Amino acid sequence: MDNDILTSNELLTDWNQDCPVYPEHWTERGMFKYLLTDSEYGWLKFIGGRYAIANVISDSSVATHDGLLWQVDTYEVSKALHDDAVDRAPMLDEDTALAKLIWFIGPDEAERDDA
């Protein structure tokens, strides 16, 4: 596994220790890779194209032998949440790393662009 890929286990372990400081060293870069779990991928397939956040994930992901690899662009995540008028991924279990990551990024960056 590539050391530059954030995994669910890694994020949840660190989240429980340092939240909400930990994700900043990922999100401050603006772009990074995240490997979705099977259940997170199941949510993505279920939610389909009903929300911009799901489209952002689908459009910037590739299937690998390890699972679905998402090239996260924090600005695009923020913009999608802002467009959906939400601060989290709809219908995604909030205990998942993906939900925590999306919530941490939040719609704030896109809201500042509207000002």
pLDDT tens-digit map of 23-67: 566 656 678 899 999 999 999 999 988 999 999 999 999 999 999
| Average pLDDT over every residue of 71-82 | 93
**Beta pairing partners, 103:** none
Rounded to two decimals, what is the model's pTM? 0.82
**In this predicted model, which residue has the larger pLDDT, 3 or 11?**
11
